[in-house]
Amino acid sequence: MTDNRPILQASWRVRQQKIGAILLVLVGVGMVAALYLSLASQATLLGREIQYLEREISSTREESANLKTELARLLSYEASQARSDELLFRPAKTTEVHYILVPGYDGVHPVDFSAAEVSEADINFLPVEYSQSLFEWASIQVRGGDSQ
Amino acid sequence: MRKAFAWRSFSLASIFAMIGIVIVVQMARIQLSTEAAEFREEADRYKGWVENIYPARGEIYDRNGNLLAGNHSVYEVGVTLDNIENTQSVASILSSVLDLDYVDTLNAINNVDDEQIYLSLMDYASAEEVAELQRIQGDIEDDSASDEAYDSLAGVNFREHLARSYPENTIASNVIGFVNRSGRGYFGVEEKYNDLLAGVPVQVWIPADPNRVEEIPQVPDGTTLILTLDRELQARTEEILDQSLYNYGAKAGTIAIMDPRNGEILAMASTPRLDLSNYSAYDQIFDNVSEYNRAINMPYEPGSVMKILTMAAALDSGVVTPQTSYTDTGAYSVSGATIRNWDRKSWGNQDMTGCLQHSLNICLAWIAVEMGPDSFYDYMSEFGLGHPTGVDLSGEAGGRLKVPGDGDWYPIDLATNSFGQGVTATPIQMMMAASAIANDGEMVTPHILYGMLRDGQQYDFPPQTAGTPISKETANTLNEMLANSIVGEDDGATISGYRLAGKTGTAQIPTEFGWYSSDETNASFIGWGPVDDPQFMIYVWLERPTTSIWASQTAAPVFAEIAEETVRILDIPPDIIRMQYAVEQ
């Protein structure tokens, strides 16, 4: 004779499972919240750093403007003339000037500030990691190459 | 037993539920209360602030990269009213350091609106003044730590910002212009290119929330300009002009140097000049705006320098050739009026080079009459007389060229205009017109802007032609005639090693009564060189010289001195060296 009574879980086990599930959900929510909090705080810190850097840029630009002006005053016509007078220099007369032929020299040309800007950009180039994709970076690493 | 426990449980649950409901109701009540609205309003104040961002004004450089106009830090000094501890002390210290009036400062602080939180007391304080105030502030704080200090600078704030700075002070001031404290440019380049230099000021909301930092727009600085001026040449030109005014007892003067191949203005000096670091002295220095830069602002009767244009027109139209002979009898009648030479003498038979060399009014008047008014005025108009040149400096005057049909034009004007009377032009107009002779018949538009720098890229401006009033052959012929005529007659205008072309101009000055003054003249000289490859054109105008009324004795030597400096500073070798170089090439 077969006993067909259904086997019921003990009520304490059911409660434990429910509590476990709730705890699992709570832990999950907690982890998501912690992650969100972490990212939000990082974003805030970065935002604050950007604000700080913006102020730094602004103050550096003002300092740069001050230094440029100061340098221009030191190199001004009046200051240069005073220095040359102190050193007993005087402007040459046309009859005192001797011209020699220098191959390749074709005179003084007006200033080109573009060239200066380009060289500055060359110095401050970004590492390629900042522009390459993750796959590009990974493939270079696998090949054992240098991303630079 | 279980029922009794159930009742207890129900009671506890009800109590907690009630507490919960009370908390929620209280929360809602607080949120909706009038105090909450005030707090929210208070909080909004700290969310951020509206700020006017003024981009840094673009710098101005000369063609060799020397800074002519830059920026430097100045400070706005103000007080945060709630933080002030001792009003008298603040007013007293600020007034002594910043040279403010004590009573006015005190009244300003005491008579503010209730809602006002900040008061600006002074702007454009120098870094030295602010450093002094900060030193006093530090001393007071040190004193207050040890004993009971009465003085206090609590509440005083300094806000740094940029202001215009001119490292060269007066050099090229008549070309650069200046910027006032509201940031607007006046005169010269500062006014002409004000919009480019100033950039676009914007009013932005600055959020205090660091997460919204990306919402703050980046405001680009004003555009940096590079001028065609050469600082060394400009400074030397100004020195020579000042010395010339002293030497010849002239009332005022101007000297301009231009590259006739492309219209680049290499130097432009005018008297008087303003120290741009102290532009508030403008009213004491200038009587009217046209004095700021005589080279472009002040038309005058140029006198005999005009003869080169008359001769150019006559040669180009075929009315005369260099060999055409004219017999000067000392008087020439036109429409009932008699024209005479500058020395009231007759010069007999002359070719056209002789007419220019001796600056014969009669000969040039005859040429104009031979040309006829239509042809003569067509040419003068082609040369740009009567119209502004379009030079990129503010306030250019156009001069006056009366033409047939105008109410005040008479037939005699044709004769007098031919030698520069009854017609007015600015030095820059005369230079533009003469550039056609020096530049193979092609007239160039004078300009001061060489290029501009924006986003790290320099954009250079190509030269612009202003028409071709005469042919290349005419230009070259006249070039030779003027080079020949300068030798002998105007030896004072020549320099060793260089062949130059040019013409003097001694113009009587019309009085307010309609006739010409007999003892006051405008002495002018226009010249260029080297003749075979003109690289510079110089215009000299000395107003009312007193040592001599003649341009040949005043303006011509000044031209030579400037030409000598120009070839030295611009590294232009003597003719013989250039010829040798050309052969070796």
Residue B426 and residue B507 share a domain: yes
Cα B58 versus chain centre, distance: 14
Burial level of A9, CB count in 10 A (0-12/13-18/19+)? exposed
Q: Could you tell me if residue B335 is inside a domain?
A: yes
Tokens describing residue A9: 């879980």
What are the Cα distances from residue B580, in Å, to A99, A103, B499?
Answer: 11, 14, 15
Q: Report the pLDDT value the prediction gives residue B362, as an integer from 0 to 100.
A: 93
Q: What is chain A's Cα-based Rg?
A: 37
Q: Does A121 have pLDDT greater than 50?
A: no
pLDDT digits (tens, 9 = 90+) for B24-63: 999 999 999 988 888 888 887 778 777 777 788 999 999 9
The residues spanned by each domain of chain A are: 11-142
Contact A117 B226 (CB under 8 A): no
End-to-end, the C-alpha distance of chain A in Å comes to 81
Contact B167 A73 (CB under 8 A): yes
Q: Report the pLDDT value the prediction gives residue B518, as an integer from 0 to 100.
A: 77
Helix (H) or strand (E) holding B139: helix B127-146
Specify the 3-state DSSP secondary structure of B446. coil
Contact A47 B210 (CB under 8 A): yes
Q: Could you tell me if residue B127 is inside a domain?
A: yes
Binding-site residues on chain A for chain B (CB distance < 8 A): 40, 43-48, 50-51, 54, 59, 61-63, 65-66, 68-73, 75-78, 91-95, 97, 99, 101, 107-108, 110-114, 117-118, 121
Overall domain count for chain B: 2
- Which chain A residue is nearest to residue B224, measuring alpha carbons? A113
Q: Could you tell me if residue B385 is inside a domain?
A: yes
Q: Report the pLDDT value the prediction gives residue B2, as an integer from 0 to 100.
A: 65
Residue B251 and residue B387 share a domain: yes
The minimal CB distance from B213 to the residues A47, A94, A117 is found for A47
Q: Could you tell me if residue B303 is inside a domain?
A: yes
State the nearest Cα–Cα gap between B218 and chain A, in angstroms. Answer: 10
Q: Does B217 have pLDDT greater than 50?
A: yes
Long-range contacts, stretch B26-30, CB < 8 angstroms, 24+ apart? none
The minimal CB distance from B71 to the residues A51, A65, A76 is found for A65
What count of other Cβ atoms lies within 10 Å of the Cβ of residue B267? 29
Specify the 3-state DSSP secondary structure of B417. helix
Chain B CB contacts of A118 below 8 Å? 456
How far is Cα B530 from Cα B495, in angstroms, rounded to an integer? 11
Q: Does A119 have pLDDT greater than 50?
A: no
Contact of B93 with B84, CB cutoff 8 Å:
no
Cα B343 versus chain centre, distance: 40
Q: Average pLDDT in the B84-103 region?
A: 89
B178-179 and B202-207 strand pairing: unpaired
B224-227 and B60-61 strand pairing: parallel
Look at residues B125, B148, B164 and tell me which one is the last residue of a structural domain.
B164
- Tokens 């009794």 sit at which residue? B4
Q: Could you tell me if residue B121 is inside a domain?
A: yes
Chain A CB contacts of B130 below 8 Å? none
Q: Could you tell me if residue B153 is inside a domain?
A: yes
Chain A CB contacts of B63 below 8 Å? 110-111
pLDDT digits (tens, 9 = 90+) for B499-523: 999 999 999 888 877 788 878 899 9
What count of other Cβ atoms lies within 10 Å of the Cβ of residue B63? 20
Q: Tell me which of A58, A59, A70, A113 to substitute to probe the interface with B (most B C-beta atoms closer than 10 Å).
A: A113
β-partners of residue B227 are B449
Residue B251 and residue B334 share a domain: yes
Contact A43 B211 (CB under 8 A): yes
Look at residues B112, B143, B164 and tell me which one is the last residue of a structural domain.
B164
The minimal CB distance from A101 to the residues B571, B574, B581 is found for B581
Helix (H) or strand (E) holding A13: helix A11-74
Q: Which of A13-22, A108-117, B35-44 has the highest mean pLDDT?
A: A13-22
Contact of B396 with B296, CB cutoff 8 Å:
yes
Positive or negative CA dihedral for B389, B448, A114, B196? negative
The minimal CB distance from B160 to the residues A62, A72, A118 is found for A62
Q: Report the pLDDT value the prediction gives residue A120, as an integer from 0 to 100.
A: 46
How far is Cα A57 from Cα B56, in angstroms, rounded to an integer? 13
Chain A CB contacts of B210 below 8 Å? 44-48, 50-51
State the nearest Cα–Cα gap between B539 and chain A, in angstroms. Answer: 21
User: B143 or A142, which is more confident?
Assistant: A142
CATH number at residue B376: 3.40.710.10
Give percent of chain B with pLDDT exceeding 70: 97
Buried b / exposed e over B472-505, threshold 16 CB at 10 Å, is eebbebbbbbbbbbbeebbebbbbebbbbbbbbb
- Which chain A residue is nearest to residue B214, measuring alpha carbons? A47
Look at residues B115, B144, B164 and tell me which one is the last residue of a structural domain.
B164
Cα A28 versus chain centre, distance: 35
- Which chain B residue is nearest to residue A42, measuring alpha carbons? B211
Q: In whole numbers, what is the pLDDT of chain B averaged over residues?
A: 90
The minimal CB distance from A99 to the residues B73, B213, B573 is found for B573
Residue B293 confidence class, pLDDT cut points 50, 70, 90? very high
β-partners of residue B203 are B52
Q: Which domain holds residue B448?
A: 231-584
Q: Could you tell me if residue B101 is inside a domain?
A: yes
- Which chain A residue is nearest to residue B231, measuring alpha carbons? A77
Chain B CB contacts of A70 below 8 Å? 72
pLDDT digits (tens, 9 = 90+) for B372-416: 999 999 999 999 999 999 999 999 998 999 999 999 899 999 999
Q: In whole numbers, what is the pLDDT of chain A averaged over residues?
A: 82
Residue B155 and residue B250 share a domain: no
Chain B CB contacts of A117 below 8 Å? 456-457
The minimal CB distance from B171 to the residues A47, A77, A92 is found for A77
Task: State the greatest distance between any 2 C-alpha atoms of chain A, in Å, as a whole number.
Answer: 137
Omega into B260 within 30° of 0, i.e. cis? no
Contact A113 B224 (CB under 8 A): yes
Q: What is the pTM of this model?
A: 0.84
Residue B253 and residue B344 share a domain: yes
pLDDT digits (tens, 9 = 90+) for B449-502: 999 998 888 999 988 999 999 999 999 999 999 999 888 666 788 998 999 999
Residue B577 and residue B458 share a domain: yes
The minimal CB distance from A95 to the residues B71, B209, B496 is found for B496
Q: What is chain B's Cα-based Rg?
A: 36
Contact B56 A78 (CB under 8 A): no
State the count of interchain CB pairs (< 8 A) between A and B.
Answer: 114
- Which chain A residue is nearest to residue B454, measuring alpha carbons? A114
User: B4 or A86, which is more confident?
Assistant: A86
Q: Report the pLDDT value the prediction gives residue B424, as an integer from 0 to 100.
A: 95
User: B65 or B114, which is more confident?
Assistant: B65
- Which chain A residue is nearest to residue B577, measuring alpha carbons? A99
Q: Does B572 have pLDDT greater than 50?
A: yes
The minimal CB distance from B70 to the residues A43, A50, A65 is found for A65
Residue A115 confidence class, pLDDT cut points 50, 70, 90? low
